[in-house]
Chains A and B, each alone.
Chain A
Amino acid sequence: GAGVSQSPRYKVAKRGQDVALRCDPISGHVSLFWYQQALGQGPEFLTYFQNEAQLDKSGLPSDRFFAERPEGSVSTLKIQRTQQEDSAVYLCASSPWDRGYYGYTFGSGTRLTVV
């Protein structure tokens, strides 16, 4: 597609429920990132994929967070046993291998509200 697509756009989960957030990056983009953006704050790094390999997961806040990109394209961020502090916008970003002097292309995000 023309841009980074994320779904769902909005998700309301009851505390304790598992959720799965999807990111469809621009075709051919090698690098894929997940960020978490709390209200009034800048995005915070969660994890990085180069193709299907998860090279950095140092930003995942707990073992309830899990991400995968099995075929090197679509990625899923899963949050188990959601808690209220997980409420945030989850942003996905991608870039080609040779991105030159360009930044990353972000999706519109998924707004997760845990009630």
Chain B
Amino acid sequence: EDKVVQSPLSLVVHEGDTVTLNCSYEVTNFRSLLWYKQEKKAPTFLFMLTSSGIEKKSGRLSSILDKKELFSILNITATQTGDSAIYLCAVDIGYNTNAGKSTFGDGTTLTVKP
């Protein structure tokens, strides 16, 4: 059975701290790994990773994938209260190169205190 496990389940930090969120997976037919931020209801896309060792960056957020060890990390530096959200990791199991169904982890709830 395909499985995605995120850790920690929750995290409370203060503004300015750096956090690392973890995602490990066991799936068949891996296509890509995706990170989303979920604040209210709609998950919003952060990164898509397909190759090992290549860091993706967007502002204070960065992510990297290790396909040998089957995990990914999401780093957030200089956290702000606006970073408070649930961070979801999903592995895309491809039907084809353009679409695949996603298996999600249960998320890490990040709370950033002022």
Residues of A within 8 A of B (CB): 4, 30-31, 33, 35, 40-45, 48, 50, 55-56, 59, 89, 91, 95, 97-99, 101-109, 111
Contact = CB atoms under 8 A, between A and B. Distances in A.
Nearest to A41: B106
A42 B107 contact: yes
A45 B99 CA distance: 13
Interface residues of B, number: 24
B98 A106 contact: no
A108 to B, nearest CB: 5
A45 B98 contact: no
Given A48-B95, A103-B34, A42 B44 contact: no
A108 B42 contact: yes
Nearest to B109: A40
